[in-house]
Amino acid sequence: MKTLRFKAVEKAVSRQALDVILPSVKTSEYFAVDVFNRSTMQEYLSREAFDSVMEAIEKGTKVDRKVSSQVSQGMKAWAISRGATHYAHWFHPLTGATAEKHDAFFEPTTEARVIENFDGTKLVQQEPDASSFPSGGMRNTFEARGYTAWDPSSPAFVMGNTLCIPSVYVSFKGDSLDYKTPLLKSIEAIDKAGVDLCSYFESNVTKVNVGLGCEQEYFLVDDALFNARPDLKLTERTLMGHSSAKDQQLADHYFGYIPLRVGAFMREFEIEAYKLGIPLKTRHNEVAPNQYESAPVFEEGNLAVDHNQLLMTIMKRVAKKHNFEVLFHEKPYKGVNGSGKHCNWSLLTDTGINLLSPGKTPKTNMLFLAFFVSVIKGVYEYQDLLKASIVSLGNEHRLGASEAPPAIMSVFLGDEMNRVLDEIESKVSAGKMDKDEKTELKINVGKIPEIMPDNTDRNRTSPFAFTGNRFEFRAVGSSANVAYPMIVLNTIVARQLREFKKELDKFLESGIQKDEAIFRVIKKFIIASKKIRFDGNNYSGEWKEEAEARGLSLCNDVLDLLKNIVSPEAKELFSEFKVFSEHELDARLEIYIEKYNKKMQIESRVLGDLAINHILPVVYKYQNVLIENVNGLQKLFKSPDSERLSSPQMMNIEEISSRTVAVFTRVNDMIEERRKANKIEDNDLKAREYNDKIKPFLDEIRYEIDHLEMIVDDEMWPLPKYRELLFIR
């Protein structure tokens, strides 16, 4: 009888590249057809309604009830024309996934008739029964009400047959229960602080926007193989599996030829993304076998976050049609690279200036430098908070594994920018600068050449790198909702911009002339944040030593890092900008810790089940084959010969015995520890117990099983092996 594994392998191998029927029209002709965007709104809304929505988008004003009812009518008419039968508030609860509860447009009127209905109140606000979403105790089950409210700054779209309305999600008392609410607040914070600072340079700036482009990495795996791996199915990562003789050593996958089947999948999800207005631009093979990347052109921060969440949903859906599963887990396979999501982040004014791009004149370059040093200082002062925003159980396996940045924050600037900062540091004197000094500095500053991203982008080991016209936060995990790291980044930079302005005002009040005052603050920021600058190899052991000597945070413990969001500094920071209340931060920590515990519990259970129900029975069967063989040899040959002939089998029998004993006892010990941990009421203590006592068993058990995989008859091994999972034919 064929094992499940062999059936799965056969199925995977026999798959043909799917011919997808692709629209023969140009992308520009169908781009954003399923989005209720500016031009569609113009067509479907009255002038009054259109202006009101535009104002809400641009200035964050409220759309009033009367107008919202007009908007809902227009939106409904458009959505029905795109084939929608249902509508849903689409939001980002703290599960990390997106959520939607569909309601049909129609409402029964009399017995036999229904009418298509969707009024303004339903557009603006809904009340999903949301008692199962994480709330960190902010919403008692008896008070399960949570509200979703329309976010006009991200356009509605039709996906499948549903009109999806991007929404925030808050509790009955107004506490945020999602990622979007604080993200919008952080964008507002940096906008305000940015505009205030710009007024010293460019008086006509009225808005500072966040620009964000997320490079999404992922793995593909054939779904037949995926379905034969309960660990992948339930935890999105392999909890066992010996490495393949060949995986990424030859680096022959990176930027290589895209397999036909994969190409068909990419093409189709890109088309779906285009219809939803997601401007995907780049696709390529990544380093590990079966690993790929998709990146859009950057967009406004809130929209970019929505689009990244939407992209992940689309990819999952389209993959099914191509008999693939997409893995967004940060480390699905041991021994090969994991997946991240580089977040390219910049600040752009409504006057068309990229504040993180060196300008052409001394004046614009001083503006650039003010923002530039503020970002660096923000990263320095809130290293641990930034780390807190990217750690998770999955990302923990990835960071520091010489394939992704270590858990030490540093900023890469490149030679050119280091030179500029060093020069300012050495040339701006503490005393009053004379005219010549100032002119020289300004001329030098005016000469910052345009930095080509290619010149700066070489250091791939840096967690936070300047790439010519943006910073690239490279430690973000591939499965993450990027809102969280962006909330932190926006807020810590808003804080520095505000501080920059305060320092500047102080100098100005003391009678120092503006240019000089600006230089002085820039210098102050350069000196204050010098320790975070590092251009060397972040993977090296020497960096760890040096970072320690510099007093940078080396903490890499997930649980300790998560707690940084409730540190006094974090609470003060987030309250100052009204991004999170203290209460909301406490709740978030509770949710993250609970999630950690649940994930650990699931991984540990899955591994236990697999070890006892799948692996050991097969191992025993194979051992019996060997025993039978040895017995047969003993019957056939005389003693010395039979001993010689059966000695390899005997060695295997012994190794199998010792390893099965190890697996068996460790699984039982792990279950015992789990029992103890589960009795602990306090979430923090429980997490500690899971982390310290249970997690090590996962590695130990895996170690034994991976060795058993090398001994047991290949035909009998029950789970698809790495060499099968990692290569697509």
Give the footprint of ligand ADP on this chain (CB under 6 A).
Answer: 211-213, 215, 282, 295-298, 344-346, 354, 457, 469-470
Q: Whole-number minimum distance, CB 473 to ligand ADP, in Å?
A: 11
Question: Is the Cβ of residue 296 or residue 340 nearer to ligand ADP in the bound state?
Answer: 296
Return the number of the residue (44 or 473) whose C-beta is nearest Mg ion.
Answer: 473
Our CB check for Mg ion shows the closer of 342 and 495 to be 342
Non-local CB neighbours of 519 within 8 Å, separated by 6+ positions? 366, 424, 428, 433, 438, 441
- Cα 161 to Cα 82: distance, rounded to the nearest angstrom: 8
Least distance from ligand ADP to the Cβ atom of residue 344, Å: 3
Instruction: List 345's β-bridge partners, or say none.
Output: 212, 471
Residues present in the chain in total: 729
In degrees, rounded to 5, the angle at the alpha carbon of residue 702 between the alpha carbons of residues 700 and 707 is 105
Q: Which partner, Mg ion, ligand ADP, none, binds residue 477 by CB below 5 to 8 Å per kind?
A: none
The amino acid that residue 353 corresponds to is: I
**Which lies closer to ligand ADP via its Cβ, residue 328 or residue 471?**
471
CA–CA dist 596, 592 (Å, integer): 6
* 297 vs 452 by CB, closer to ligand ADP: 297
Cβ neighbours for 65, distance < 8 A, ≥ 6 positions apart:
120, 121, 124
Number of residues this chain uses to bind Mg ion (CB under 5 A) = 1
- Minimal distance, residue 460 CB to ligand ADP, in Å: 9
User: What CA–CA distance (Å, rounded) separates 512 from 679?
Assistant: 65
Decide if 339 contacts 250 (C-beta within 8 A): no
DSSP secondary structure code for residue 178 in this structure: B
Q: Which stretch binds Mg ion (CB under 5 A): 341-349, 378-386, 488-496, 528-536?
A: 341-349
- For residue 416, what are its two tokens? 């050119």
Applying CB under 5 A, does 5 fall inside the site for Mg ion?
A: no
From residue 161, alpha-carbon distances to 102, 158, 403 in Å are: 10, 7, 41
Q: Which partner, Mg ion, ligand ADP, none, binds residue 295 by CB below 5 to 8 Å per kind?
A: ligand ADP
| Residue 401 dihedral angles phi and psi, to the nearest 5° | -100, 30
User: Which element (helix H / strand E) includes 169?
Assistant: strand 162-171
Judged by beta carbon, residue 455 or residue 649, the one nearer ligand ADP is: 455
What minimum distance in Å lies between the beta carbon of 355 and ligand ADP? 10
SS3 203: coil
- DSSP three-state, residue 187: helix
Residue in the shown chain whose Cβ atom is closest to ligand ADP: 213
Q: How far is the CB of 479 from ligand ADP (least distance, A)?
A: 18
Give the nearest distance from C-beta 342 to Mg ion in angstroms: 4
Residue type at 681?
E
Owner of token pair 């194979």: 622
Give the contacts of 308 (CB within 8 A, at least 6 positions apart): 214, 216, 341, 481, 482
Separation between Cα atoms, residue 368 and residue 359, nearest integer Å? 7
Binder among 86, 329, 342, 721 for Mg ion (CB under 5 A):
342
Q: Which is nearer to Mg ion, 261 or 342 (CB)?
A: 342
Is the Cβ of residue 74 or residue 340 nearer to ligand ADP in the bound state?
Answer: 340
Distance CA 170, CA 161 (A): 26
User: Closest separation between CB of residue 247 and Mg ion, Å?
Assistant: 23
- Which residue, 469 or 478, has its beta carbon nearer to ligand ADP? 469
- Residue 410 beta carbon to Mg ion: minimum distance, rounded to whole angstroms: 17
String of contacts with Mg ion for each residue 290-329, x by CB under 5 A? ----------------------------------------
Minimum gap (Å) between residue 397 Cβ and ligand ADP: 22
Segment interacting with Mg ion, rule: CB under 5 A, options 257-265, 325-333, 339-347, 360-368: 339-347
Judged by beta carbon distances under 5 to 8 A according to partner kind, the member of ligand ADP, Mg ion, none in contact with residue 395 is none
Q: Residue numbers of the site for Mg ion (CB under 5 A)?
A: 342
